[in-house]
């Protein structure tokens, strides 16, 4: 089974984000991610590498020796500056370690999209879905999705919500991990049909 993933980046810490993924929740979300990956046992994870959700999935997959196929919207330097190090936390070195490892395995895809284009991240999501479908040889029933988010839209340009809805529209099982709540029930995060 191939697991596509997406989720919230860490909140900016300037009060502009209503607690979608507070930095204080990283350790709990990290545990939830590892628990889900152990339960689902994917052959590979496919997604991006932004700070917060993406990097937590990639780190857990690395610890569990799961193949990591990473797509970033632009060249690594631009992506690192605009999607990784622009938020609180020490995400830059974590990103560098992961990108170097997946690049060495031939599993890094730099999409070379335009960072100024409005639909760039939706296009990156489409690339993630295509990569996952390619890895299954066209057997879409071998794909599941993991979405790390607060479960609430942030508006019409919410790329995480679009990812969630597209995965469900495709009929893929979706597991959600709550990034906003400081503590959760020790049960495995909820799974949507």
pTM score: 0.91
For residues 48 and 108, what is the distance between their CA atoms, to the nearest angstrom? Answer: 9
> What is the model's pLDDT at position 189?
54
> What is the model's pLDDT at position 97?
98
**Residue 149 pairs with which residues in a beta bridge?**
178
For residues 146 and 151, what is the distance between their CA atoms, to the nearest angstrom? Answer: 13
> What is the model's pLDDT at position 154?
87
- Concatenate the DSSP letters of all residues of 18-55 into one string: -SSS-GGGHHHHHHHHHHHHHHH--SEEEE---TTHHH
For residues 145 and 40, what is the distance between their CA atoms, to the nearest angstrom? Answer: 10
> What is the model's pLDDT at position 140?
72
Q: Tokens 């979300």 sit at which residue?
A: 29
Q: pLDDT tens, position by position, for the chain (193 residues)?
A: 999 999 999 999 877 767 899 999 999 999 999 999 999 999 999 999 999 999 999 999 999 999 999 999 999 999 999 999 999 999 999 999 999 999 999 999 999 888 888 888 999 999 999 999 999 987 777 999 999 999 999 888 899 999 999 999 999 999 999 999 986 454 545 555 5
> What is the model's pLDDT at position 49?
98
> What is the model's pLDDT at position 16?
72
Residue 125 host element (H or E): helix 120-135
> What is the model's pLDDT at position 190?
55
Reading the block at residue 93, the tokens are 């070195």
The domain 2-192 is placed in CATH, from the list 3.30.360.10, 3.10.180.10, 3.30.1490.190, 3.40.50.450, at 3.40.50.450
> What is the model's pLDDT at position 166?
96
> What is the model's pLDDT at position 183?
60
b/e per residue 120-149 (b: at least 16 CB within 10 A):
bbeebbebbbebbbebeeeeeebbbbbbbb
> What is the model's pLDDT at position 168?
97
């Amino acid at each position: 089974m191939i697991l596509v993933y997406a989720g919230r980046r860490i909140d900016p810490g300037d009060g502009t984000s209503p607690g979608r993924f507070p930095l204080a929740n990283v350790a709990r979300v990290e545990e939830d991610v590892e628990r889900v990956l152990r339960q689902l046992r994917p052959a590979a994870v496919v997604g991006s590498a932004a700070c917060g959700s993406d990097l937590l999935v990639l780190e857990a997959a690395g610890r569990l020796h799961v193949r990591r196929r990473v797509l970033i919207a632009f060249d690594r330097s631009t992506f690192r500056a605009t999607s990784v190090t622009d938020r609180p936390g020490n995400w830059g070195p974590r990103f560098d370690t992961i990108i170097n490892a997946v690049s060495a395995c031939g599993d890094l895809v730099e999409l070379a999209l335009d960072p100024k284009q409005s639909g760039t991240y939706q296009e990156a999501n489409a690339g993630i879905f295509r990569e996952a479908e390619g890895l299954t040889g066209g057997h879409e029933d071998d794909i599941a999705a993991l979405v790390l988010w607060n479960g609430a839209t942030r508006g019409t340009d919410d790329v995480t919500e679009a990812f969630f809805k597209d995965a469900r529209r495709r009929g893929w099982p979706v597991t959600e991990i709550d990034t906003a709540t400081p503590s959760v029930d020790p049960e495995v995060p909820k799974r949507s049909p």
